[in-house]
Structure 1
Amino acid sequence: METRPRRYMGLGYRLAHMPWWAYVLVIIGVYLLGWLMRLTGIIPGH
């Protein structure tokens, strides 16, 4: 039971101390994922 909160704290620490390019990659990845999902018809788009 002690390992789970520590793991989440480590993840939060890692997220808080990411370099700027890591945030850019995450944003691009999310954008591309949404575009692909719209293209394949998972998300109804125009």
Structure 2
Amino acid sequence: MMSCNANKERSERKYLNFFKQAKWQNESSIDAEARALGRFESH
């Protein structure tokens, strides 16, 4: 019982880390796109 619960927590933490990383990468790519768009529109 305990090991099953610990395994569940470990996989949830792994998923949360993955989700945070994906969210950060997504935001940084959106930021890069916005910067590229701003550069394109300013010309």
Structure 2 SS opposite 1:27? helix
Please, what is the CA RMSD of the aligned residues? 2.2
Q: Structure 1 stretches (4+) deviating beyond 3 angstroms? A: none
- Structure 2's unaligned 5+ residue stretches are 1-12
Which entry has the higher C-alpha Rg, 1 or 2?
2
Could you state the TM-score of these two structures normalised by the residue count of structure 2? 0.52
Q: How many percent identity over aligned positions? A: 8
- The equivalent of 2:18 in structure 1 is 21
Write the distance in 2 (CA, Å) between the matches of 1:20 and 1:38: 27
Q: Whose relative contact order is higher, 1 or 2, with alpha carbons under 8 Å and at least 6 apart? A: 1
Alpha-carbon distance, 1:33 to partner = 0.3
Corresponding residue pairs, total: 26
Q: Which residue identity lines up with residue 35 of structure 1 in the other structure?
A: A
Gapped runs of 5+ residues in structure 1?
1-16
Matches within 5 A, 1:7-18: none
